[in-house]
With several copies, the nearest count.
Chain A
Amino acid sequence: MIEILYFAWLRERIGIPKETWMTEAVTVADLVDELRAREERYAIAFEDISSLRVALDQELSSFDAPLSGVREVAFFPPMTGG
């Protein structure tokens, strides 16, 4: 069971800010594949992961990172702070 968070336009496209998901995924990329297969809104939101960023347990990470031991995954577009 992991917590998945979505921010900015990704949150709007998927329609929810967070959800809990039961996963067997080994890497972040595997998790994205699972999500894409769920519903079209996920398939559309995750169409181009090069335009997305991922954080694992609140640390920036990459799509090939392993999910083992991770409790919180966050997906979002490139940041625009400051």
Chain B
Amino acid sequence: MRVVVQDAPFDPGAELTAFSAGSAGVGAVVSFSGIVRDDHGDLDALEIEHYPGMTERALTQQAKTAMQRFGLADVLVIHRYGRLAPDEPIMMVATAAAHRRAAFQGSEFMMDYLKSRAPFWKKEHRAGQTEWVNAKLSDEDALMRWHR
């Protein structure tokens, strides 16, 4: 299990290669990467604030929960903070398991959690203006489906 919170850029493909190499014996690896989108062509940067200490703690705890709940062989979480440009990767999650269903579910579970329970906040910079991104109700709903 590996949880990384960093301001430096990273390459999801290279991380996937390293993660897979470290997961001998598994049959299925799923990865998710989230990328800075510029829907209106006017985004200068996405700024990500986080809560040092709590972030690592919360992500580690959730990765452990995912490992146990879905019987995963391994979990990787990388999340950036600081100032990011459009098309840069923001974060990635990868899960390794014997079978595909567990790997998919583990990654979706991690993502739904990350979106609304890990202490990150996004601020958009557009044409000299800044605006905090609002939490989406749909993200809260997505998380609720895991509560049995």
Contact = CB atoms under 8 A, between A and B. Distances in A.
Interface of A: 5, 7-9, 11, 55, 58-60, 74, 76-82
Interface residues of B, number: 28
- Specify which of A59, A60, A81 lies most central, judged by the most chain B CB atoms within 10 Å of its CB: A81
Given A79-B117, A81-B114, A7 B51 contact: yes
A55 B61 CA distance: 15
B145 to A, nearest CB: 16
B122 A5 contact: no
Contacts, number: 73
A61 to B, nearest CB: 12
Contacts of A76: 51, 119, 121
B119 A55 contact: yes
Given A58-B54, A74-B54, A80 B91 contact: no
B118 to A, nearest CB: 5
A55 B57 CA distance: 12
Given A8-B121, A76-B119, A81 B79 contact: yes
A64 to B, nearest CB: 19
Interface string B46-57: 001111011001
A82 B53 contact: no
B135 A82 contact: no
B123 interface: yes
Contacts of A81: 48, 50, 79, 91, 114-116, 118-122
A81 to B, nearest CB: 3
A33 B1 CA distance: 41
Contacts of A11: 49
B34 interface: yes
